[in-house]
Amino acid sequence: MTLHDYFNKWDDHRKTLVLSVLVGVLCGLAAVLLHQSIHAIQQGLTGWFGESVWWNLLYLVYPGAGMLLSLLFVRFVVKDDIGHGVTKVLLAISKSESRIKKHNTWSSLIASGVTIGFGGSVGAEAPIVYTGAAIGSNVAQMAGLPYRNMTILLGCGAAGAVAGIFKAPLAGVLFTLEILLFNISMSSILPLLLSTVSATVVSYSFLGMDPLFEAFIAPFAMHNLPFYVLLGLLCAAASLYFTRVTLYLEDRIKSKGTPYTRWAFSALALGLLLFLFPPLYGEGYGDVREMLLGNDVSPSIHTPLFFLMQHPWGVVLFFLLVLLLKIFSMTLTNAGGGVGGTFGPTLFVGALTGFLVARIINLTGLAQVPQANFVLVGMAGLMAGVMQAPMTAIFLIAEVTGGYGLFIPLILTASISFGAVRIFEKYSIYTKRIAQSGDLLTHDSDQAVLTLLKTSDLVRDKYPRVRLDWTLREMVQVVSQSTAAVFPVVDEKGLFQGVIEMDTIRTYILKVGQYDRLHVYNLMSDPPDRVYIDEKMDAVMAKFDKTDAWRLPVLTHDEVYVGFISKSRILSAYREELKEITSQDI
What is the rounded CA–CA span in Å between residue 108 and residue 340? Answer: 8
The DSSP 8-state label assigned to residue 519 in this structure reads B
How many other C-beta atoms lie within 10 A of the C-beta of residue 29?
A: 18
DSSP E strands, 451-518: 466-467, 486-490, 496-501
Q: Where are the domains of the chain?
A: 3-207, 222-438, 450-581
Provide the pLDDT for residue 585.
46
Are 215 and 292 spatial neighbours (Cβ–Cβ below 8 Å)?
A: yes
CATH of domain 450-581: 3.10.580.10
Fold of 3-207: Clc chloride channel (1.10.3080)
Provide the pLDDT for residue 255.
77
Provide the pLDDT for residue 586.
43
Q: What are phi and psi of 331, to 5 degrees?
A: -70, -40
> How many residues would you count in the chain?
586
> What residues of the chain score a pLDDT lower than 70?
1-8, 47-56, 181-187, 298-302, 437-452, 578-586
Provide the pLDDT for residue 305.
72
Distance from chain centroid for Cα 92: 10
What is the rounded CA–CA span in Å between residue 171 and residue 428? Answer: 18
The alpha carbons of the chain give a radius of gyration, in whole angstroms, of: 29
What is the rounded CA–CA span in Å between residue 87 and residue 492? Answer: 44
pLDDT in tens, 300-359: 666 777 777 778 898 899 999 999 999 999 999 998 899 998 999 999 999 999 999 999
How many other C-beta atoms lie within 10 A of the C-beta of residue 24?
A: 34
Q: Return the amino acid letter for 390.
A: P
What is the rounded CA–CA span in Å between residue 82 and residue 122? Answer: 14
In what helix (H) or strand (E) does residue 563 lie, and over which residues does it extend? strand 561-566
Provide the pLDDT for residue 19.
94
In what helix (H) or strand (E) does residue 489 lie, and over which residues does it extend? strand 486-490
Provide the pLDDT for residue 174.
92
Q: What are phi and psi of 74, to 5 degrees?
A: -70, -40
In what helix (H) or strand (E) does residue 531 lie, and over which residues does it extend? strand 531-532
Is 561 strand, coil or helix? strand
Cα dist from 468 to 54, 83, 493, 496, 499, whole Å: 79, 49, 11, 9, 10
Cα dist from 452 to 97, 145, 442, 455, 536, whole Å: 9, 18, 11, 10, 9
0.85 exceeded by pTM: no
Are 552 and 564 spatial neighbours (Cβ–Cβ below 8 Å)?
A: yes
Fold of 222-438: Clc chloride channel (1.10.3080)
Nearest-5° angle of CA 86, CA 92, CA 93?
95
- Fold agreement (222-438, 450-581): no
Residues sharing a CB contact under 8 Å with residue 160, sequence separation 6 or more, in sequence order: 23, 24, 26, 27, 28, 31, 132, 136, 172, 195, 196, 198, 199
Are 534 and 562 spatial neighbours (Cβ–Cβ below 8 Å)?
A: no
Provide the pLDDT for residue 201.
96
The DSSP 8-state label assigned to residue 465 in this structure reads P
Residues sharing a CB contact under 8 Å with residue 578, sequence separation 6 or more, in sequence order: 445, 446, 449
